[in-house]
Structure 1
Amino acid sequence: MQLDFSRLAPLDAYRWLASTITPRPIAWVSTLSTDGVSNLAPFSFFQIISDNPATLLVNINTRGDGQLKDTLRNVQDTGELVIHLVSFEQAEDMNASAALLPHGESEFEACGIATEPSLRVRPPRVQGASVAFECKLAEIQPYPRANPNCHLVFAEVLLAHIDDAVLTEAGRVDPQRLDLVGRLGGSAYTRTRDTFNMVRPT
């Protein structure tokens, strides 16, 4: 089978990409509007792109009507965000927060998701998240530049919160205890507990 992406409709292109580039980590992003309204939304076009400075990349698509999502609006206005990783235990809450709410309505409140304060930025953290990165905005790049349909958000990590419960006795992250979920195609997800080791050749 061969796919000519120049001939595919955007939705078909998305479906093929999203069902083959898997598993994808999920960025569960909390932000705060200039009016003080908290926002929480998941994004699976997400990755680490640099360790010096520690930088994460989240791709935020525009809405179907061309409007910017609240997450992007808030990051543009305030320059702050918290990126959480999603454990299996919190998968249902993450999925609930993906619902399309009216502008200015908090997913934390609508979904009954508890918060706790951040230390370096104003947006709240998801209470009980195994991993949370408090970030400042490094830059935003519209893409494609000529006619953007998404924005690449480069987020520099200021402070990481890692639950001691997911660490080994040696102080390293144990994938079995972390038990994150990853996005597959459609409505399918996976867990990170099925692992194997390989030693990289020298």
Structure 2
Amino acid sequence: MHYEAEAPSLPHNPLKAIVAPRPIGWISAMDRAGRVNLAPYSFFNAVGGEPDMVMFSSSGRKDAMTFAEEGGEFVCSLATFDLREAVNATSAPLARGTSEFGFAGLTPAPSRRVRPPRVAESPAAIECKWLQTVPLVPLGGGEPANFMVIGQVVSIYVDDRFVRDGRVDTGAMRPILRGGYFDYFTVESENRFELRRPKGG
């Protein structure tokens, strides 16, 4: 079968079920007034190295994006299985300026190089300086519905319990990943395997 948004042949768009599982960026950002927003974004990933860069994409101009632009910084805390209910709670559409940390029963912890706090309960966090917001203009033009926020990594926090032999044990932290519909997945250490790149000419 073929699915096209203009003439859907399925009850739900399958894109998110195919581009899956996706990492979740649990974004905290602070506006000029010092108010903090915390929200999960499943359109999130690392997009560059040396210098390290990450991005998250917002459907509409939501608080995490506008706060990151105003304050010039944001933090990505790792969303884990143990914190899944709190991650979900922070997706609630609260009034602007209402603390998602308090609503979800989370503790804000000071970051090292940026003003927005990280989630203290999370085992890892990526501190970023905002670089730019890219409006994702659709084919044919018109007003963009989605915006890609790009930040440069300036510091990374990892709980010492998950650093083993100089490497971060991703599986031991049990990050949750987003699938399609209401589906989520976890990463587990026992499912890990290594592949080495083949030698080239």
Structure 1 and Structure 2 fold alike (TM over 0.5): yes
Q: Percent identity?
A: 33
Which residue is equivalent to 1:180? 175
Give 5+ residue unaligned stretches, structure 1. 63-67
Alignment partner of 1:59 is 2:57? yes
What is the deviation of 1:6?
A: 4.1
What is the deviation of 1:152?
A: 0.6
Distance 2:30 2:78 in 1: 18
Distance 1:167 1:88 in 2: 18
Aligned pairs (5 A) from 1:1-202: 1-8=1-8, 12=12, 15-62=13-60, 68-144=61-137, 146-168=142-164, 170-193=165-188, 194-202=191-199
What is the deviation of 1:199?
A: 3.0
Distance 2:142 2:132 in 1: 18
Distance 2:171 2:3 in 1: 37
**2:168 is paired with a residue of what secondary structure?**
coil
What is the deviation of 1:20?
A: 1.1
Return the TM-score normalized by structure 1.
0.89
Cα-Cα RMSD:
1.7
Q: Is contact 1:167–1:177 with CA below 8 Å preserved after alignment?
A: no
Query: Which segments of structure 1 move beyond 3 Å, counting only runs of 4 or more?
Result: 5-9
The amino acid that maps onto 2:93 is L
What is the deviation of 1:110?
A: 1.5
Give 5+ residue unaligned stretches, structure 2. none
